A and B are shown apart, each in its own frame.
Chain A
Amino acid sequence: MADPSLFWLAGAVLLVTAGVATSLLPHRRAHAEQRRTAWSAARAAIDSAAVSRDAAPGRVPEAERLLTRAESLAGRRGGVDAARAAAEHARQADRLWREHR
């Protein structure tokens, strides 16, 4: 064996690496999943709102404004918070168009 201290150093480095990996990776993975989930929900809400808009008998400027903002948020592809905001805007717009008839 070369140098015992190298042995210990390598072991310690491995330990730290394993510790960091096991605590960081699941965290990041969960974060990414959360983000994709939020955007999935947001896109569903936006599509649903678009259907409601096409079906609505007249124009609803408030709803159009909300949907535009939701679409622009979706176009920028932000984080979880942006996705939640976009979904909330889209749902509001959807409700406005449905109530309009």
Chain B
Amino acid sequence: MTAGRYRRLAEPLRWALLGLAVLVLVVFLVAQRQQGIDVSYGRSPASTAGVDTDGTGTSDRATVPSVDEMTALVAAAPVVRLPGSVAYWNEQRVREVAGDTRILVAPPGLDKDERERVRDVENATIRVIGTEVSGGFYQASSDRLPAWRAQFATGDVTDLLIALITTLRKESTPADRDELRWREPSGPELNTVLTDLRATGRHIAPGATLTDVPETAARNAFPDGAWYVALPVQRYGEPLPRYGPALSARFPDQPIVVMYGLWIEYHGPGAADFAELAGASFYGQFANLLSRTDYPQRNVLGVYLDRVTDIRYAGLFERPLPYRPADPLRVALPALPWLFAGCVAAFMVLSARSLRRPEGRPGSRRDTAPTRLAGLTALAVEVSLLTDARSNPALTRGIVKLQAARSAWEEKLPARHVRTLLDEAAAELDDTARQVGIASYRPDNYLRGRLS
């Protein structure tokens, strides 16, 4: 009874296991295709791409005159400012060290050929492309936040020029001087900014090149949202409105990102922890690139936000990581091969079971063939004493059929076949008995008599 139920269950179970194995295999293969090569814990979701160079925003690309024209211009005046130039400097401080230095100032955003052309102007001692200052074999670069701030917020290249000129003249370089001045924003200014921030979370001043804040980068960097204030490059020599501290004083829990041109500042919670690090690592890597190009603020802000995200994820300052739910597939992946192996093994075992030669067909309790065979054989022997020439053939045919039945039974041929042969033998013996004329030798009667 239980064995029967077990056998009935085994077959569907076998196919269910096969289906499961195939499913696991498919899941594994699909996961293989999706799975990247590197697996790391708590990886920052920030994009690792550099500054997005697409849509640089300037519809009219800056150009420069030909090399001959520029050479003539430089020969005519010690300082030549080409149209679109953005670099400024403290002329008095530069004049003190300059001597007969000739300076060619070109706009930012030149392509490679045009930069080559500017470099080919041989009578210019110093070339300023955007705010990138170079001359001879040297290129001046800042390495401190105040210097980068002056360079990117106002286009101030005084310290770079002085450093490069004194280096070229093999003189000692005077210490940098931070000439940037701040002012408190006026009440109406602050109100305008606050109105915008309350409404949309961002304030874009006229002239700023920020179109919108990069969504993903902003969400990764500041999951709780941040305010963005974008101002254009400030006029050199004028004090900068100090929006960051002013806004932070009113909303201490609100992260605030303030952009002056390409200079990005962070104010708000955790500023002491990472604002300087983010700024230093960002401008340390990108200052050279940013100084000679004119990317819109959006592209630069995106990279800055990625850097902030990286710092958050580095866990340097014990800032809590944003919760990332475990991917069930990734968790299950190591178990899949074992699951698959288990399914295969179980399927193999059940298959082997079903392959085993089914027992108990001949020779089982229900198999009446041996009894019948013995009875009919005994009947044939008994009746053979009484037969004559007329009834002999039937008896012989009966014996032939009995022999066939016996060998079929011994060969374990299907019971139905054995029964058919026995039936035929019984029919022949029945003929014999009728010909002999003894009713008790008819197989039915004889066998009943034997059994009782």
The residues of A with any CB-CB pair to B shorter than 8 Å are 4, 7-8, 11-12, 14-15, 18-19, 21-22, 25-26, 29, 33, 36-37, 40-41, 43-44, 47-48, 51-52, 54-55
Contact B348 A18 (CB under 8 A): yes
B58 within 8 A of A: no
Residues 341-397 (chain B) with a chain A CB within 8 angstroms: 341, 344, 347-348, 351, 354-355, 357, 392-393, 396-397
Give the CA-CA distance A8 to B396 in the complex, in Å.
65
Contact B341 A11 (CB under 8 A): yes
| Residues of B in contact with A, size category | 20 to 34
B424 within 8 A of A: yes
Contact A55 B396 (CB under 8 A): yes
Q: Could you list 22 examples of A-B contacts with CB < 8 Å?
A: A4-B337, A7-B341, A8-B337, A11-B21, A14-B348, A15-B18, A15-B21, A18-B344, A19-B351, A21-B351, A29-B357, A37-B408, A40-B404, A41-B421, A43-B404, A44-B400, A48-B397, A48-B401, A48-B424, A51-B400, A54-B393, A55-B396
Contact A40 B408 (CB under 8 A): yes
Contact A40 B355 (CB under 8 A): no
Select A7's contact among B337, B400, B414, beta carbons within 8 Å.
Answer: B337
A to B contact number (C-beta, < 8 Å):
77
B75 within 8 A of A: no
Contact residues in B for A4 (Cβ distance below 8 Å): 337
Contact residues in A for B28 (Cβ distance below 8 Å): 8
Q: Which residue of A lies closest to B334 (CB)?
A: A4
Contact A40 B413 (CB under 8 A): yes
Contact A52 B397 (CB under 8 A): yes
Q: Measured between C-beta atoms, what is the minimum distance from B399 to chain A in Å?
A: 9
B25 within 8 A of A: yes
Contact A37 B21 (CB under 8 A): no
**If the complex has contacts A25-B355, A33-B414, A36-B413, are A15 and B397 also in contact, measured as CB distance less than 8 A?**
no
Contact residues in A for B18 (Cβ distance below 8 Å): 15, 19
Contact A33 B413 (CB under 8 A): yes
Q: Measured between C-beta atoms, what is the minimum distance from A77 to chain B in Å?
A: 16
Q: Which residue of B lies closest to A11 (CB)?
A: B344
Q: Which residue of B lies closest to A44 (CB)?
A: B404
Residues 429-452 (chain B) with a chain A CB within 8 angstroms: none
Highest count of chain A CB atoms <10 Å: which of B337, B404, B405, B408: B404
**If the complex has contacts A44-B424, A48-B397, are A37 and B417 also in contact, measured as CB distance less than 8 A?**
yes
Select A37's contact among B22, B344, B392, B414, beta carbons within 8 Å.
Answer: B414
Contact B417 A21 (CB under 8 A): no
B9-49 CB mask vs A (1 if < 8 Å, else 0) is 00000000010011001001000000000000000000000
Give the CA-CA distance A8 to B333 in the complex, in Å.
13
Give the CA-CA distance A46 to B413 in the complex, in Å.
19
Contact B21 A44 (CB under 8 A): no
Contact residues in A for B25 (Cβ distance below 8 Å): 8, 11-12
Highest count of chain A CB atoms <10 Å: which of B22, B348, B405: B348
Contact B413 A37 (CB under 8 A): yes
Contact B340 A11 (CB under 8 A): yes
